[in-house]
Amino acid sequence: MYDILIVGAGPAGLTAAIYARRAGKSVLILEKGTLGGQMTFSPKIENYPGFSELSGLELSDKMADQALALGAEIEIDTVRSLEILNDRKILHCEGGDFQGKAVIISTGAKHRMLSVPGEAELVGKGISFCAVCDGAFFEKKEVLVIGGGNSALQEAELLSRTCSKVTVIQNLSVFTGEKRLQELLLRKANVECVFSATVCSFKKEGERIEVEISVAGNTKKLYAEGVFVAVGLSPDNTPFEGCVTLKNGYVLSNETCQTNCPGVFTAGDCRTKSVRQITTAVSDGAVAALAACEYVENA
């Protein structure tokens, strides 16, 4: 029986573990993949306070080392479901069951990928998912943005401020994002839009990326120094859908990261929120941990 079970070892989960251990609570982190989550795919981070520059892997290692040094335990396992049994929370995992007085869901959210040849190999090597994170690396360069919803339009508008040219590739004949964003983007002189285009493959060509697209059955090749894939995020909260309220797949919570289920909290990109950055995940982790500690002490 642990005081707090944390699902996910991204920045939110690791921060929650640090705060909970400093409060003297026993902590078990359950992670099915890589410690650090999505930030490990960032080759360079320049907007995390205290560090002018470091890689996502370096930041992940620092957070994990700190949590482990404080006495947090980490188990590599996949959570299948959450069961609430009176004052106990039971996580049913592939390797067995784990019990805790409180649970913090910090499973993150993965960027949806196009699943075309060459994409996976170039993630972090020219293909990115976040203009706020990586846009500065492509200043005065040509980039492509793939997608036509709000996220893609916002990414393209942000990149258009510093990049020499932004080409937006949309698989439909129109954008699906807000009209205001469309109008703002289409006024930009350095923005070009390609509609009804399907991405077929990516290939590294020297310093540029070759993007093969299909437009009305005709194959065409585009070239850019950076590509931003903005086709949405995909949270993985299905193991908890019977216990907590989900909205569009994300865990619904209040300001203290408390869900509708007493003793179950959430933190990071997996919860309903407007900004998803490493710094906001860390903030959530601290808030959720403090709230979980208070719950355990008063239970």
For the chain, domain boundaries: 2-110+234-298, 113-229
pLDDT (tens digit per residue) in 223-266: 999 999 999 888 989 999 989 999 999 999 999 999 999 999 99
Common-topology check for domains 2-110+234-298 and 113-229: yes
List, in order, residues 6 or more apart from 237 with CB less than 8 Å away. Answer: 105, 107, 244, 246, 249, 250, 251, 270
Does position 42 have pLDDT exceeding 80, yes or no?
no
Residue 283 burial (CB count, 10 A): 18
Given the residues 61, 77, 93, 130, select the one marked as catalytic.
130
Give 288's pLDDT tier (boundaries 50, 70, 90): very high
Our answer to whether residue 3 is catalytic in this structure is: no
pLDDT (tens digit per residue) in 190-217: 999 999 999 999 999 999 999 999 998 8
Q: Percentage of the chain with pLDDT > 90?
A: 79
Tokens at 291, concatenated: 């709230």
Given the residues 3, 77, 97, 134, select the one marked as catalytic.
134
Please compute, for residue 42, the number of CA atoms within 13 A of its CA located in the half-sphere on the CB side.
Answer: 27
Given the residues 65, 87, 93, 133, select the one marked as catalytic.
133
- Is 3.50.50.60 the CATH number for 113-229? yes
Our answer to whether residue 133 is catalytic in this structure is: yes
- Could you please state the CATH topology (level 3) that the domain comprising 2-110+234-298 is classified under: FAD/NAD(P)-binding domain (3.50.50)
Closest C-alpha to 172, from 180, 164, 182:
182
Average pLDDT over residues 4-14: 97
Our answer to whether residue 130 is catalytic in this structure is: yes
Please compute, for residue 298, the number of CA atoms within 13 A of its CA located in the half-sphere on the CB side.
Answer: 8
Does position 221 have pLDDT exceeding 80, yes or no?
yes
Give 67's pLDDT tier (boundaries 50, 70, 90): very high
Task: Give the range among 6-15, 36-45, 132-141, 146-155 with minimum mean pLDDT.
Answer: 36-45
pLDDT (tens digit per residue) in 77-88: 999 999 999 889
Give 44's pLDDT tier (boundaries 50, 70, 90): confident
Does position 17 have pLDDT exceeding 90, yes or no?
yes
The CA distance from 229 to 253, in Å, is: 28
Residue 61 burial (CB count, 10 A): 15
| The residue to which tokens 């403090």 are assigned | 290
